[in-house]
Amino acid sequence: MIASIVYNIPATMIEAFRGRDIIVRSIDPAEILQRLGQDDLKRLAYLQILGTGGDIDSLMRWEHPIPVDLVIQHPESDLPLLYRYAPLIAERSVRVSVRVAAGFSNVVKLALSLNFAVKLEVSQPEPAAIEELLQVVNLYLHQSTVSQPIEFIHSIFWSFYNRTPVSLWTIQEEDPARVRYITDSGEETLSRRLAGAALKYGVASFIKEFTEELIGEKQECGDCAFFENCAGYFKWPRRDYRCDGVKVLFQTLRAAAGELRADIASFSTPGQESRP
């Protein structure tokens, strides 16, 4: 069975995409709820709320358990406002998406403490951001009060644990075989990150051709141990971005996954001990 493509659309385009699987976004949750019809709910993956400025009263009263993705636009000023969204968790899963930029880890800490899942929107992190990412990795791996996934860290970790590669493009919902992003002006592209970019290849074949080109260049990606998971994700938009910091991050996750695998293997189930 081939999963259909999910379209991330502005709320104004609900009618145009009726009958297709959708993610609906707006800065105003009330706008989304007003425009959604009963039949749309069956094909609605989640609501994406852009920022904390909208009126959430109607969303608080909305009885459909559709997940919500809250996109944090301004980490510093939006931080205390996360508490406003805490009641939503009683009826639906809530994810906070935050760009990896100075101070983002505070948003991650608070989001996790409110039992929100987290998605890190990462592009080409500079050394300071890598340091902050490593702190978040440490939080994810070792803090007992963390009970929600932090993507992309979570899926990469489990990919290492299960020894089953998962592409970062897929984890980050930028795989064109699964998700397409429709800009406010109606242009179809891969994601918000790539909106407005002049893609050299068509949307559908972008990742395939981009990764083949990176391999062909025989540069950093050519012999990278993490290419199966990364697939050149960090080489866009600048090809000359050095992945040293990112590799430390991946190495940390790979080592932790290996430790966990070894720990679990060292325990034997009572009654199933091997006999001498």
Partner 1 sequence: MKALPFSLVLLATLGCNAECEYCFESKSDHHLTLDQLSTVIQKTMDHMALNHFETLSIYWQGGEVMMMPPEWFEQAHGIIQEIAASRNRHVKNYIQSNMISYSRKWNRVLADMFGNSVGSSMDFPNLHRKIKGGSPKAYERIWSRNVREAKDAGIEVGVISIPNEQTLDMDAERFYAYFVNELGITDFQINTPFPGGSQNDVKTGFPLETHRLSRFMVDLADVWLAQGFQRGVRVGPFDQLLDYFVHGRQNLLCIWRDNCVNEFVCVDPRGHVAQCDCWVTGYPEYRFGNILDAGSLSDLLRNSDARRRLQARPGELILKEDCLDCIYLTICHGGCPVRAYTVHGDLFRKDPYCRLYRRLFQHMEAMAANLPLRRNEYPDSI
Does residue 185 interact with partner 1 by CB under 8 A?
Answer: no
Considering only residues 125-144, where is the footprint of partner 1 by CB under 8 A? 143-144
For residue 255, the tally of other CB atoms under 10 A from its CB is: 12
How near is the Cβ of 20 to partner 1 at its closest, in Å? 29
CB of 82 to partner 1, least distance (A): 7
Binder to partner 1 among 9, 22, 112, 243 (CB under 8 A)? 112
Q: Where does this chain touch partner 1 (CB under 8 A) — which range of 104-112, 178-186, 228-236, 240-248?
A: 104-112
Q: How far apart are CA 206 and CA 200, in angstroms?
A: 8
Considering only 5, 35, 53, 91, the residue that binds partner 1 (CB under 8 A) is 91
Question: Both tokens of residue 209?
Answer: 């051709």
CA dihedral 15, 50, 199, 14 (to 10 degrees): 0
Amino acid at 203: V
Listed ranges 96-104, 111-119, 128-136, 190-198: which one lies at the site for partner 1 (CB under 8 A): 111-119
Footprint of partner 1 on residues 50-89 (CB under 8 A)? 57, 60-61, 63, 79-84, 86-87
By CB under 8 A, residue 219 contacts partner 1? no
Give the binding-site size for partner 1 (rule: CB under 8 A): 25
Binding interface with partner 1 (CB under 8 A): 57, 60-61, 63, 79-84, 86-87, 90-91, 106, 109-110, 112-115, 143-145, 147
